[in-house]
Amino acid sequence: MKAFIPEEVVMNPRALEYETGRKVRAYFENLGVPILISNRVKIEGDTPAKLYQRSKKTVFITLNKEKKLRPCSPSADYQFSLSSSCPGHCEYCYLQTTQGEKPYIRVFVNIDEIFQVIQQHMDDHDSDITTFECSSITDPIPFEPMTGSLKKCIEFFGESRQGRLRFVTKYHMVDSLLDAKHNGHTTFRFSVNTDPIIQQYEHVTSTLDQRILAAKKAAEAGYTLGFILAPIMRYDGWKKDYERLILNIKEQLHDDSLNISFELIQHRYTETAKNLITSRFPNTKLDMNDENRQLKWGPYGKFKYVYKKEDSLEIKTYISELIQEHFKNGSIEYFT
Ligand code: SF4
């Protein structure tokens, strides 16, 4: 995966009132990407697959108007966003159902206002340490070259007494963040999976080796490091492949004293997601056979299909043991 360059940029005229908006316009003008000034995004395509592909190459530069932060269990206390959607085409992506028919990318440029909402929230909830997730509806890394907003965000939290930042990525372009003054207040997480899963389902993302190398750089830059293993899937040879993945991370990081957090998420889907995935990826090999699953009530008011109890327990036990064996200071934050 090289730097992300969209095919079309639509710019809300109001975005140009902000320094980051003007910076983004100059960035794309320099690259020769067409920019349409408008507050409406039009995407055309005669099939769900074409609409999806075109959306993933369209960026809307606009404002984040959210004034209230939503909870973000289990990964953090609250969530906020610097962008939504991402250039990736991961077939299983949990955002398939939340971003509508046209999941075009939105990049928000009113950074200081976003920080004000976070600061107000912390002032109103005078608790000790509060964690904030900024990748629950996006992957923030591909947009960093155009905005520089994530670095500003890391430094905002670096100065915060009670706020702590968490984000996760499937991309490796992290160099511009390595000298950020994070002050140990940011957890830099990488989403990883077995090679067959990445190759088969995670299109337009960085390779596993690129992600692990980026994780090494983040750890060397003093960030707290985390890995999200998601979605964990059962398939022929899954145990061997997950063992290989854990060993690969261990060997490449070359430092078994690191305090690394692991989050473990088994593969799940809803009925709506299954229909959308099969319309966008008609040849998908994703295992969405309901007979191998059981229903679980989800926090967003929908049933989801997860692995059967004994299968899910086997995943949890097997992968937890691998982590405990190979990362003496590793901690498993949750399995879901
Ligand atoms: Fe979804 Fe993350 Fe893949 Fe983007 S990189 S499509 S957010 S799973």
pLDDT tens string 23-58: 999 999 999 999 999 999 999 999 999 999 999 999
CB of 141 within 6 A of ligand 1: the answer is no
Identify the residue whose C-alpha is closest to ligand 1 atom 2. 139
DSSP conformational letter for 254 = -
C-alpha–C-alpha distance, residues 120 and 284, integer Å: 44
C-alpha–C-alpha distance, residues 248 and 250, integer Å: 5
Half-sphere exposure of 107 (CA within 13 A, CB side): 33
CB of 88 within 6 A of ligand 1: the answer is yes
C-alpha–C-alpha distance, residues 331 and 161, integer Å: 24
pLDDT at 302 over 90: no
Indicate which atom in ligand 1 lies nearest the CA of residue 135. Answer: 7
CB within 8 Å of 284: residues ≥ 6 apart: 91, 201, 277, 278
In the numeric block, which tokens belong to residue 82?
């610097």
Average pLDDT of the segment spanning 104-109:
98
CB of 33 within 6 A of ligand 1: the answer is no
CB of 95 within 6 A of ligand 1: the answer is yes
C-alpha–C-alpha distance, residues 61 and 28, integer Å: 11
pLDDT at 254 over 90: no
The answer to whether the beta carbons of residues 109 and 63 sit under 8 Å apart is yes
Q: How far from 294 is each of 96, 288, 299, 304, CA to CA, in Å? A: 21, 11, 16, 8
Q: How far from 107 is each of 171, 205, 244, CA to CA, in Å? A: 17, 18, 36
Residue 140: CB atoms within 10 A of its CB come to 22
Q: Would you state the torsion angle of the CA atoms of residues 27, 29, 35, 39, taken in this order, to the nearest 10 degrees?
A: 50
Reported as a pLDDT band with limits 50, 70 and 90, residue 98 is confident
Strands 293-297 and 163-169: what pairing?
unpaired
Give the Å distance between the CA of 93 and the centre of ligand 1. Answer: 6
DSSP-assigned letters across all residues of 86-124 = -S-EETT-TTTTTS-S---EEEE--HHHHHHHHHHHHHH
Average pLDDT of the segment spanning 140-161:
97
Question: What is the predicted pLDDT for the residue at 96?
Answer: 87
Find the range with the poorest average confidence among 36-40, 98-102, 238-242, 243-247. Answer: 98-102
Question: What is the predicted pLDDT for the residue at 100?
Answer: 82
Identify the residue whose C-alpha is closest to ligand 1 atom 3. 90
Reported as a pLDDT band with limits 50, 70 and 90, residue 99 is confident
Indicate which atom in ligand 1 lies nearest the CA of residue 95. Answer: 1
- Better-predicted residue by pLDDT, 119 or 101: 119
In the numeric block, which tokens belong to residue 85?
């959607």
CB of 168 within 6 A of ligand 1: the answer is no
The answer to whether the beta carbons of residues 72 and 78 sit under 8 Å apart is yes
Find the range with the poorest average confidence among 131-135, 250-254, 319-323. Answer: 250-254
Identify the residue whose C-alpha is closest to ligand 1 atom 5. 88
Alpha-carbon Rg for the chain in angstroms: 20
pLDDT at 301 over 80: no
Give the Å distance between the CA of 95 and the centre of ligand 1. Answer: 8
Q: How far from 27 is each of 2, 24, 220, CA to CA, in Å? A: 16, 5, 29
Reported as a pLDDT band with limits 50, 70 and 90, residue 257 is confident
Question: What is the predicted pLDDT for the residue at 297?
Answer: 87
What's the start-to-end Cα distance of the chain, in Å? 29
CB of 205 within 6 A of ligand 1: the answer is yes
Give the Å distance between the CA of 66 and the centre of ligand 1. Answer: 22
Identify the residue whose C-alpha is closest to ligand 1 atom 1. 93
